[in-house]
Structure 1
């Protein structure tokens, strides 16, 4: 993200320099162009994913060991990591954009959680090792893919879904579209739900143009395309909110500059169920899964039944 910001600064500087013709500005222009090229080449190496081998090394010495696999959906196969063997409770983590299954490794290593539930974290379509670089902007299709992954692992008495950022609406859509699933609760971390507060930045559409796309790493291409379509995808969910009855816990920071806190007010307005728990964090930003690990773990332990 630092390199993306530097790129934008120099991109703006390009147009400023074009209005001037001094030798000094030409030299500055050449420097800026070289900086952009070097930055983008460096950024293109950022795949934002961790190999299974490296993850297994990270779990060395732990009693519970992860298992990796690919969902049975041939059209949209999802790479996942699973740990724990509870036949009753399933806890599924859905990451944001960009990201991969390693966003929730700390939770997967938490034996207090794996003693109470089978844990699954997955690479969403286009990320990690799930068709890396090939975007699926449809929230509905992504939700269906996660549902099929869940069904691959048998029947559970209770399913808990954790969704961060873009993963939040996927968790909600899953509960909306498949009401027969025994979803016990949604735990939404800074979820991007409100189409009216969905920001599309000026550089999102240019970044989808061919001259720029080849320079972006696959994960950023996917995130950018999801961003462009996110508002319209959320609007498609508008008429479904009334059908959502699953209990929800939402945790959101009031200083979130990426997904505004106003998303909480939107959820409070459209949710028609009987149980909405809102945890507002006065000085928190968007990165709740990592900055508020203890709080999130506490919430999960609160609702996961004892074995």
Structure 2
């Protein structure tokens, strides 16, 4: 019998090993250490500062660039699951943006250098520590740009304190508690063996996904408290079931007069890493128009 299962097992182990190596290599590309970030920004003649802040025994790292004046208009980037400040470095180095705004991006708790590997499933805690960062500034205008899971954190920041932000752009948001966030493989890779060989940010993302239904349910009534404009960016094709689920949640929980839904080609979940020129233009359009909801 063993001669029949030997090759299938070997093939499984081989491809699983290739997959794990690929994930770890890709992880480095999107979670570059400080020396790599410095090299990137030095080549583009971009001044930047990495800072840390603590809140209730949690430590959060954030990156600051652009205008020095604390009253300068502020762009704030919050990544999804997984992610890090590295995801937004292109925006920090963009000539137009860095000469018009102060720009901040954060490593969410558990990612990058913010208590790496220590997941935080309480969205209130995630929002509180980022709010603490933002309260250090006194900008004439603040815009939060959030991706995926980060959209929930941006919403809670705005719901808890209306003075912190003047608008939110949600890129491919994952905000509906009833969406099937947990896949069959999440429970498999959330065990001791896989957690040992997979990178920290994958483990943190897995924990967030497994707990996402409860985490999002805990804040679903907070959305109605938001009073700043929200731009909900979705893939142009409206036939995608997941997009419709997320859009329906937004329509049912976000006040109609502040919600603007825009369908654009190239707004897929992973496109935020590829189509940065599109997002830059959307940011500038949002700030110019202040998004008059249709």
CA–CA distance in 1 between the matches of 2:89 and 2:283?
15
Which residue number corresponds to residue 41 of structure 2? 59
Q: Which moved more, 1:252-261 or 1:81-90?
A: 252-261
Q: Which moved more, 1:255-264 or 1:156-165?
A: 255-264
Q: Say yes or no: does 1:127 pair with 2:111.
A: yes
CA drift of 1:144 comes to 0.7
| CA contact 1:117–1:304 (8 Å) conserved in 2 | no
Assess, with a 3 A threshold, how the Cα gap between structure 1 residues 38 and 251 changes in structure 2: closer, same or farther. closer
| CA contact 1:253–1:280 (8 Å) conserved in 2 | yes
Which residue number corresponds to residue 111 of structure 1? 95
| Pairing partner for 1:233 from 215, 223, 228 | 215
Q: Which moved more, 1:128-137 or 1:283-292?
A: 283-292
| Pairing partner for 1:161 from 144, 169, 187 | 144
CA drift of 1:74 comes to 6.2
Per-residue CA deviations over 1:230-262 (Å, capped at 9, x if unaligned) read 111111112222211110111111569895343
Assess, with a 3 A threshold, how the Cα gap between structure 1 residues 58 and 212 changes in structure 2: closer, same or farther. closer
CA drift of 1:43 comes to 4.1
CA drift of 1:283 comes to 6.4
Unaligned runs of 5+ in 2: 289-294
Unaligned runs of 5+ in 1: 1-20
CA drift of 1:44 comes to 5.0
| CA contact 1:98–1:127 (8 Å) conserved in 2 | yes
Q: Say yes or no: does 1:30 pair with 2:10.
A: yes
| Pairing partner for 2:170 from 180, 188, 203 | 188
Assess, with a 3 A threshold, how the Cα gap between structure 1 residues 100 and 27 changes in structure 2: closer, same or farther. same
Question: TM-score scaled to structure 2, two decimals?
Answer: 0.87
Which residue number corresponds to residue 31 of structure 2? 49
| Pairing partner for 2:122 from 107, 126, 138 | 138
Q: Say yes or no: does 1:177 pair with 2:155.
A: no
Root-mean-square deviation (Å): 2.4
Secondary structure, counterpart of 1:251 in structure 2: strand
| CA contact 1:255–1:284 (8 Å) conserved in 2 | no
| CA contact 1:244–1:272 (8 Å) conserved in 2 | yes
Assess, with a 3 A threshold, how the Cα gap between structure 1 residues 203 and 96 changes in structure 2: closer, same or farther. same
Q: Which moved more, 1:60-69 or 1:118-127?
A: 60-69
| CA contact 2:172–2:267 (8 Å) conserved in 1 | no
Question: TM-score scaled to structure 1, two decimals?
Answer: 0.83
| CA contact 1:125–1:142 (8 Å) conserved in 2 | yes
Secondary structure, counterpart of 1:203 in structure 2: helix
Q: Say yes or no: does 1:299 pair with 2:282.
A: yes
| CA contact 2:171–2:267 (8 Å) conserved in 1 | no
Q: Which has the larger radius of gyration?
A: 1
Q: Say yes or no: does 1:147 pair with 2:127.
A: no
Secondary structure, counterpart of 1:195 in structure 2: coil
Assess, with a 3 A threshold, how the Cα gap between structure 1 residues 164 and 42 changes in structure 2: closer, same or farther. closer
CA–CA distance in 1 between the matches of 2:138 and 2:81?
29
Which residue number corresponds to residue 291 of structure 2? none
